[in-house]
């Protein structure tokens, strides 16, 4: 199964949905798209707008690969469930985001070997054909939470 | 301590959950936008998605004033987006300690929200060292959630 997601952005992401739907036309593999607020309705892939976190996380676990906008949330979830990624960054020039921050995050994903960046339909087809190796990451407490834990403890002492 | 987490309902919430879940020796409450996901999570305070809508921002500001007055948290935290703006400025009025964490998505450029709440954040964390020089001296880098 392939799971594609565009997140909760109030503009949706027609370019990604249309691209993935086009791929669904050419394959027997089950394709599921979370379309959010997109206006394009998939004709070949299964789709839904929004779902609860439990349901979405189940789809991440079932999928062999995740196609997503380069949103931090979907990238964190993909990494959490150790799924390879194909990212289609939202671009400012198409009015898909207020700036090009997704491009930076997408490049980082590519550089860290966590997934591929895709801009066009042929690139998407090529990326899906690759035999994507799954990767492993240490499931330890992130350094940010460790810092906050310590900081809050000191704060608690100072106010009491 | 009591900690209020203010963030929007998508990726910002996923980031906040990853950061806040390990802080389980504190009492945590969330304030976020209304959608299937947040309803199912049983979050008490749900607002309509503000976006860039001025009227919703005014309404949200009043509601957040009420929430902070009622809950009186010791600390509020946010990973963005715009919901942090009224929350952080009102928190300052109440003398509540504020912690802002810039999104993982901000690597080379600061977020619009980050630039506005920087001045009222007691702790201002960025998740990439490359972002430090875009902010003033108060921005700190303590690693990222990945």
Measured in angstroms, the CA of B62 and the nearest CA of chain A are apart by 23
**Pairing mode, strands A65-69 and A46-48:** unpaired
The one-digit pLDDT tens for each residue of chain A (160 residues) are: 999 999 998 889 999 999 999 999 999 999 999 999 999 999 999 999 999 999 999 999 999 999 999 999 999 899 888 888 999 999 999 999 888 889 988 988 888 778 899 999 999 999 988 755 555 444 456 788 889 999 999 999 998 7
> Is B105–A105 a contact, with Cβ atoms under 8 angstroms apart?
yes
- Phi, psi dihedrals of residue B141, rounded to the nearest 5°: -115, 120
Question: How is residue A132 annotated by DSSP?
Answer: P
pTM of the model: 0.82
Q: Which helix (H) or strand (E) holds A42?
A: none
Burial environment of residue A54 by CB neighbours within 10 A (0 to 12, 13 to 18, 19 or more): exposed
Residue A139 pLDDT: 46
Residue A138 pLDDT: 44
Q: Is ipTM over 0.85?
A: yes
d(CA A69, CA A115): 12
> Is B11–A53 a contact, with Cβ atoms under 8 angstroms apart?
no
Residue B138 forms contact with A (CB below 8 Å): no
Q: Which helix (H) or strand (E) holds A95?
A: none
B15 interaction partners in chain A (CB closer than 8 Å): 72-73, 76
Residue B42 forms contact with A (CB below 8 Å): no
Residue A110 pLDDT: 85
Residue A4 pLDDT: 97
A143 interaction partners in chain B (CB closer than 8 Å): 142-144
Which residue ranges of chain B lie beneath pLDDT 70? none
Residue A111 pLDDT: 81
B101 interaction partners in chain A (CB closer than 8 Å): 144
């Amino acid at each position: 199964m392939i799971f594609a997601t565009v997140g909760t952005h109030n503009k949706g992401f027609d370019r990604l949905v249309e691209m993935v739907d086009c791929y669904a036309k050419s394959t027997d593999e089950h394709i599921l798209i979370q379309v959010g607020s997109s206006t394009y309705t998939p004709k070949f892939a299964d789709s839904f707008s929004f779902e609860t976190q439990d349901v979405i996380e189940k789809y991440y676990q079932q999928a062999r690969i995740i196609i997503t906008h380069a949103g931090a949330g979907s990238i964190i979830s993909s990494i959490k469930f150790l799924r390879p990624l194909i990212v289609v960054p939202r671009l400012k020039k198409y009015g898909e985001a207020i700036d090009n921050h997704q491009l930076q995050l997408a490049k980082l994903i590519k550089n860290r070997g966590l997934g591929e960046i895709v801009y066009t339909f042929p690139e998407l087809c090529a990326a899906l054909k690759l035999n994507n190796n799954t990767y492993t990451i240490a499931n330890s407490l992130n350094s940010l939470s460790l810092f906050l834990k310590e900081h809050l403890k000191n704060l608690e002492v100072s106010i009491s | 301590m009591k900690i209020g987490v203010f963030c929007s309902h998508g990726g910002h919430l996923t980031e906040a959950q990853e950061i806040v879940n390990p802080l389980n020796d504190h009492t945590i409450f969330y304030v976020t936008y209304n959608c299937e996901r947040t309803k199912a999570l049983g979050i008490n305070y749900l607002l309509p998605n503000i976006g860039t809508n001025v009227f919703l921002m005014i309404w949200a500001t009043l509601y957040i004033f009420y929430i902070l007055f009622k809950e009186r948290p010791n600390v509020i935290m946010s990973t963005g987006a715009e919901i942090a703006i009224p929350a952080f400025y009102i928190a300052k009025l109440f003398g509540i300690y504020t912690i802002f964490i810039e999104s993982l998505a901000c690597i080379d450029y600061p977020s619009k929200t980050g630039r506005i709440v920087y001045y009222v954040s007691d702790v201002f964390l960025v998740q990439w060292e490359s972002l430090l020089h875009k902010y003033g001296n108060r921005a700190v880098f303590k690693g990222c959630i990945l």
